[in-house]
Structure 1
């Protein structure tokens, strides 16, 4: 008869990691977008299926906590990790919109738009100085709404939604600047992985700019020449900063290696994938051919990082189910979480 003594450990393992595990859905979803942009459709759909299953699990957990443990839900909603609910929803919506499933994309846009102000206000109210990279999720969630809004607006020819996406784009940049004033830059040398979101937020901002430029290509009367020029210039600056940030963070990983698995490492994979997608999208929107090749290289680096972190997650789950120390694959000293508090 199979041993069932370990079965209760799995829900406990999950409970300790949601809602921050939303970063895993974000990472998998953005890789699906990148693989689609590079015509690897089969791999893209496999990644989309994995991200969708993860999103459904997180959505169920979100609802159960809201209904059964309101105090805990409120407490977690006040952390930056809570905004992964919005960001993960928008990333999935972006991919579904690219598939032509506009009704589903619109439903996800509506859901994200409903959650965004509630969670954003809760997070901002609990902001602290010397924060980890999760503080930049205020920008990521906002720009995710902008990208999805632009995608749906282009597909449905809804000018009002494109203008709303433009407002969110500029608001997201303001939130990035404010978040940076709260960010502890020492996280670059000692962070558990989510410090990469500082660069990922620049990447998704560049993606939002590219999406707005692309929306103008669909409807040439959407923006005037000044607006289009400002968008193109800002997007160019943003993708440049995202690429520079990628290089800086990668060098920091080599100089100050942190090889142990931690849940925050999904906060590394998502920014890597987002930077790749941003390069690919800006290449198409602004007709910068060399960015396409660079974006493809960064995408495969992101896929490799996803596989490494996924392997670490599986080992961590197995260790927990066997009673080993959580967070250290195969047991051993636990990794001290530096996630958002």
Structure 2
């Protein structure tokens, strides 16, 4: 993921303004969707539904951009599909599916799982082919995020629908996502901690969604499925808790780096800061429930409201940028 380049938004034509809605903006859908999940876990159902409506609206806009680009601007679409940010489409779709499953809308969740699963291999292969050793931004971890998003949705549906095959599929995706994380870490440029425009936070967010996926596998075993024996469950529980601890460690490191070198100016990549904040909160709450660690609920609630504050701050920045861009478009049109 990289910051947008080119002329200022005020000089864009309406068509160019629409074309520059980059795939990284899918992080906004992901951030809002995971806040909806976290708010549900804390009992704030009305706020959760409001966040879900906003996430769905943004998802539909991005889906329209995806389809129109595929049909009428194939070259630009193919170029966009190669950047790591394209994988936010998979992760965001999976997170929305998880939330709809929580609402009992399993058919819709199944459809979103099918869509995310169809997009995942093509986008993942194209993105990974363009990885390079070292020197990459935090977007490199989106390969793990997308994979674990599928694992989390599959695990959630496995428990809801008593489908063992979905649980085993989720388990394969879970371990595969961890392998992708290790490879991505070798490609990540640690200087991004102090230089990144926002997506450096995905380094921690990828571990948080991995912990969330692990919690869904633990929860699925608590249903009538009885998937794992005591040893398997013990290993899965230990790995899930360890992932949450590592995600928390990244959270502290990234927060300190932000304090040492503040970057307050709005960038679309700041949505890639918000979703790890929300993901860490949701993972803390989910792991606390699935691993029977009730004391995690308090820290999870604190982290959730930090994520809500971050979402509001970035949303205000996005609204100002959008208003400035539209004003520039009207000015250009009058000339």
Correspondence 1:178 to 2:164? no
Correspondence 1:143 to 2:148? yes
Cα root mean square deviation, aligned = 1.5
What's the offset of the Cα at 1:26? 0.3
The count of aligned residue pairs is 319
Pair 1:150–1:258, CA change in 2 (3 A): same
* Partners of 1:143 and 1:57 in 2: CA distance: 24
- With normalisation by structure 1, the TM-score equals 0.91
Match of 1:103 in 2: 107
- Greater helix fraction, Structure 1 or Structure 2: 2
Correspondence 1:221 to 2:226? yes
Matched ranges for 1:97-176 at <5 A: 97-128=101-132, 129-176=134-181
What's the offset of the Cα at 1:73? 1.2
- With normalisation by structure 2, the TM-score equals 0.93
Match of 2:4 in 1: none
Match of 1:53 in 2: 57
Q: Is the 8 A contact 1:9 1:320 kept in 2?
A: no
What's the offset of the Cα at 1:77? 0.7
* Partners of 2:256 and 2:224 in 1: CA distance: 42
What's the offset of the Cα at 1:80? 0.3
Q: Is the 8 A contact 2:164 2:225 kept in 1?
A: no
* Partners of 1:304 and 1:10 in 2: CA distance: 31
Match of 2:196 in 1: 191
What's the offset of the Cα at 1:219? 3.1
41, 44, 48: which one aligns with 2:45? 41
What's the offset of the Cα at 1:7? 12
Q: Is the 8 A contact 1:272 1:299 kept in 2?
A: yes
Match of 2:302 in 1: 297
Higher relative contact order (CA closer than 8 Å, sequence separation 6+): 2
* Partners of 1:47 and 1:105 in 2: CA distance: 17
Q: Is the 8 A contact 1:81 1:137 kept in 2?
A: yes
Pair 1:302–1:14, CA change in 2 (3 A): farther
Correspondence 1:207 to 2:212? yes
Match of 1:337 in 2: none
233, 240, 248: which one aligns with 1:235? 240
Pair 1:118–1:273, CA change in 2 (3 A): same
* Partners of 1:55 and 1:165 in 2: CA distance: 24
Q: Is the 8 A contact 1:9 1:321 kept in 2?
A: no
Residue aligned with 1:100, SS: coil
Q: Is the 8 A contact 1:169 1:208 kept in 2?
A: yes
* Partners of 1:227 and 1:66 in 2: CA distance: 44
What's the offset of the Cα at 1:11? 4.9
Correspondence 1:288 to 2:293? yes
